[in-house]
Amino acid sequence: MSGLTLTPLQGVPKIRAGDDIAQITLDAAASSHVSLQSGDILVYAQKIISKAEGRLVALSTVTPSAEAIRLASVTEKDPRVIELVLSESKAVLRARPGVIIVEHNLGFVLANAGIDRSNVDGMDHALLLPLDPEASSRRIRADIAAKTSCDIGVMIIDSIGRAWRNGTVGTLIGSSGVPTLLDLRGKPDLFGRNLETTEVGWGDEMASAASLVMGQAAEGWPVVHVRGGPALRGEGAIHDLLRPKSKDLFR
């Protein structure tokens, strides 16, 4: 099996609302001397998808509700940001000084509803997650296929914390043309015993690998090209990675 290669694409400009992500990707691939092939995967940082889709919000346009003001006092956060968190969430699960954990409208459990103010132009702005990262992934995949005749997989990732450990990890939030959860139950191990419980969060593992290449600060590498090795193709769904409430022992 060939080795796995992850290549950050150079020359991705600052993204503005309405930008053509597929064309920007192809231009960056050419600048990076990467020729796309069917079977490749492109991994995108959530921020550039959100920016292209106009999900940047000026906090001056946000009026906090009474509940947002109450939670802002508890969490010691900007009440305008908390209002955005509430608008993006199904439920608030935990609120402590410095922390608010919610169930996002997309089903993810995460801090601050994924709202970010890092690597965002303007101190008085906040960036929301894409409305539908799965649809965004399908659209980018279709646009690149139309421009190149290549059938590539698309992943959109974000840095998300975990319940049991410190630190954020690259996590899949939307995809098209790639697996998400690999069910290995029934497959033999090295000694011929069938695996009984093993399910691999392949989408999150690949997201973490790409996140290491992207970096988290001022690197400016929001698109990673993946080829070879375990760069699998398939049609998974992001909700396959979300633990159902009936099996969530911490809620």
Residues of the chain with CATH 3.30.1330.100: 5-54+129-241
Do 177 and 237 form a contact (C-beta atoms < 8 A)?
Answer: no
Would you state the CATH architecture of domain 5-54+129-241? Answer: 2-Layer Sandwich (3.30)
Q: How confident is the model at residue 234 (pLDDT cuts 50, 70, 90)?
A: confident
Tokens matching residue 38: 């069917």
Q: Classify domain 57-126 at the CATH topology level.
A: CofE-like fold (3.90.1660)
Query: What is the reported pTM?
Result: 0.91
pLDDT at 188: 58
Angle at 81 between CA 115 and CA 44, to 5 degrees: 15
Residues of the chain with CATH 3.90.1660.10: 57-126
Q: How confident is the model at residue 183 (pLDDT cuts 50, 70, 90)?
A: low
pLDDT at 173: 97
pLDDT at 184: 53
pLDDT digit string (tens) for 83-114? Answer: 999 999 999 999 999 999 999 999 999 999 99
pLDDT digit string (tens) for 112-164? Answer: 999 987 666 667 999 999 999 999 999 999 999 999 999 999 999 999 998 88
For 188, residues 6+ apart whose C-beta sits below 8 A from its C-beta are 194, 195
